[in-house]
Amino acid sequence: MPLGSLKEILLYPYDQDINANTLQNVLENCALTKFQHRLDEINNWSQVLSLGEQQLIAFARVFLHAPDFIFLDESTSALDEKTESHIYENLRKYLPHSTIISVGHRSSLQQYHETVIILSSDDKELELAAEV
């Protein structure tokens, strides 16, 4: 988390001109409503936000930047399954044309993808899930 206002954290790494209503909607979609009134607050957010909240900030960035390809590596590891479900449902709803590739240990991730790839060696197994 870079230092700065919550708005700057959300827009990182780009300096975009996005209105407060859009940012508040994104925070709501990412289960971060308790921070909606703190957009201009400057803080050391890595110490203020829990690990789960930091992961949700990363998802807020995804929604704001709307990339064509989204690579998620253990991106919901600090979230409960209800919040994880909420986030993936919103990814499908608001970014329907984005390709989502998730890497993780949770079997719950599989339900959000059409294709699952399992890579294994003698002593390890790695699952990749992708929705195209």
State yes or no: pLDDT of 125 exceeds 70.
no
**Residue ranges of the domains in the chain?**
1-65, 67-132
Q: What is the pLDDT of residue 110?
A: 84
Helix or strand or coil: residue 102?
strand
Q: Are 110 and 103 in contact (CB under 8 A)?
A: no
Helix or strand or coil: residue 100?
strand
The model's pTM is 0.85
User: pLDDT digit string (tens) for 26-66?
Assistant: 999 999 999 999 999 999 999 999 999 999 999 999 999 99
Q: What is the pLDDT of residue 56?
A: 98
Contacts of 43 (CB under 8 A, 6+ apart): 5, 6
Tokens of 28: 């709501």
State yes or no: pLDDT of 12 exceeds 70.
yes
Phi, psi of 69 (to 5 degrees): -125, 130
User: pLDDT digit string (tens) for 17-27?
Assistant: 888 899 999 99
